[in-house]
Amino acid sequence: MEQFSSSPPPLAKRPRLSNEGCSPDKESDRNVLVTQLAQTVEELRARQATLEATVARLTSAVADPAPAESPALASIVVLNVGGVHYTTTRATLCQYPDTMLGAMFSGKYALTLMKDGSVFIDRDGQLFQHVLQFLRSQRWVLPSHDAYQTELIKCEADYFGLPWPLPEFLVETAAPSKRLEAHMHGINAMAVAGDFLVTASGSMRVWDKDGNRHFELDRREIRAVLPWRDGILAVSKSGGMHWYNDSFDYMGRYSLSSAPPDNTVETAVLWRDSVAIACLEDQLLRVWHESDIDTVLPGDHDFAEALDVWDDNLVAGLADGNINLWAPDFKNLHTLSGHRSAVICLVVWNSKLCSGSMDKTVRLWSAGPHWECTTVIDTGRPSFAMAVWHDSLVTSDFRRSLAFWNEQGECRRTVTSAATVDIRCLCVWHDGDMLVTGNDDGEMCFWRGTMQKY
């Protein structure tokens, strides 16, 4: 670094000038000295200019840096969310000005910084990655296999005031509105008959809309309860079909003529003016007509664990993961493949077939001529039962919870049942206003809810 002094360098000593008694020679010497003095002044001025330039250059080199920009206005922002650090931009955080983050980094409010210069937010650091992803892409990327995780992400969206595009299923209470100890054993089947609900277990019981039990109809082990001739048809484990009229008077019994006596019924469904029944021992599907004639459906297939009717065709979910379809003329129409394990429940929703499997997925299928799988929902757990309620697909699982899905496979909501055992069956009642769950311990729970949009 250059060394310099603030005082000018010493000048050479020159004789003192005087006008007293000046001779011509002395006058000449005086003029020389004046010239020399003028030159010295010019030299000093040049030296001063050089020194000032040097001082200015050195001052600029060691000058203090500019004051740090406010974190609320800085273009790059470091966040500390529950101990997890994120680096993003102020523009990203202000994508939605009317939200909490948009207000924080608008520049209107002073922010307290951590020692490392980050802004601390007391929320779940792992979940915040979904919030930041939404701010960057304006799209929620949700884990379809985990409805509980989706619910946690929605809580973060609510906290930060971010838009949530999915319709929200609102259950009136966190617990069911009513619980009944309906049976001593697990509930196998439920059906609506007029204003009444019929449940089946080791016995069959009838309930009114207030949850009062009116009748106990049968003590046989019933596998299916079907609406029939303004009354009900109860299909027992042994294959007997018991008809009750709209007053629940016993009207008679029917049986399968082609089934061996020791055959066991797995499930049954109404199909046109007949009843389709799946038998376990011989793995055959039989169609019984009220004329007391039953027909064995053709096809080499595994035994059926679930039955439904889709576009007037009979659908069977099989233990090998396939789904077989039969036309009304009993011809084998098509086989849907895709599940890797047994198909245990079926339901039709908005003209699509929904199949729930032990492979922890639910598949949505479009009807012919292509019979394609349009959506695969990774539920994370096998679905015991399914129903359609308020334009949502409802599934029950091993964790005794209900999940509500849209047709894109996005989870709208999850509700944990008050039951301590698995939910075996679902039924929609009260003109669609109520969902009823039948549990493995014989308990019945009633749920009310509505769909709302943000």
* 35 neighbors 29 (Cβ within 8 angstroms): no
Q: Could you tell me the CA-to-CA distances from 186 to 190, 221, 423 in Å, in that order?
A: 12, 11, 9
Q: What is the pLDDT of residue 66?
A: 42
> At a CB cut-off of 8 Å and minimum separation 6, what does 10 contact?
none
* Amino acid identity, position 394: V
Assessment of whether the complete model's pTM goes beyond 0.85: no
SS3 content of the chain, % helix, strand, coil (to 5): 15, 40, 45
In percent, the amount of the chain with pLDDT more than 70 equals 80
* 301 neighbors 321 (Cβ within 8 angstroms): no
Mean pLDDT is lowest, of 1-15, 18-32, 138-152, for 1-15
pLDDT in tens, 234-262: 888 888 888 888 888 888 888 877 666 67
Write out the two tokens for 35.
């010239």
> At a CB cut-off of 8 Å and minimum separation 6, what does 386 contact?
345, 346, 347, 354, 356, 362, 393, 394, 395, 396, 426
Please, what is the Cα angle at 122 between 118 and 128, to 5 degrees?
80
Beta bridge mates, 157: none
User: What average pLDDT does range 142-166 have in this prediction?
Assistant: 78
Mean pLDDT is lowest, of 296-305, 344-353, 387-396, for 296-305
User: What average pLDDT does range 151-179 have in this prediction?
Assistant: 69
Looking at 240-384, list the stretches that DSSP marks H as alpha helix, in order from N- to C-terminal side. none
Max Cα-Cα span within the chain: 161
Q: Could you tell me the CA-to-CA distances from 222 to 95, 242, 285, 294 in Å, in that order?
A: 58, 10, 18, 20
How is residue 11 annotated by DSSP? P
* 221 neighbors 212 (Cβ within 8 angstroms): no
* Amino acid identity, position 322: N
Mean pLDDT is lowest, of 25-29, 213-217, 303-307, for 25-29
Helix (H, G, I), strand (E, B) or coil at 19: coil
pLDDT in tens, 174-226: 345 566 677 778 888 899 888 889 998 877 888 887 777 777 776 677 888 99
Beta bridge mates, 416: 401
- Angle subtended by helix axes 147-160 and 128-137, to nearest 10: 70
> What does pLDDT average to over the chain?
81
pLDDT in tens, 68-107: 455 555 689 999 999 999 999 999 999 999 899 999 998 8
d(CA 371, CA 261): 37
Q: What is the pLDDT of residue 10?
A: 53
Write out the two tokens for 17.
């000038």
Tally DSSP H helices, then E strands, for the chain. 5, 32
Write out the two tokens for 383.
């679905």
d(CA 420, CA 228): 34
d(CA 205, CA 216): 4
Q: What is the pLDDT of residue 172?
A: 42
| Banded pLDDT at 140 (limits 50, 70, 90) | confident
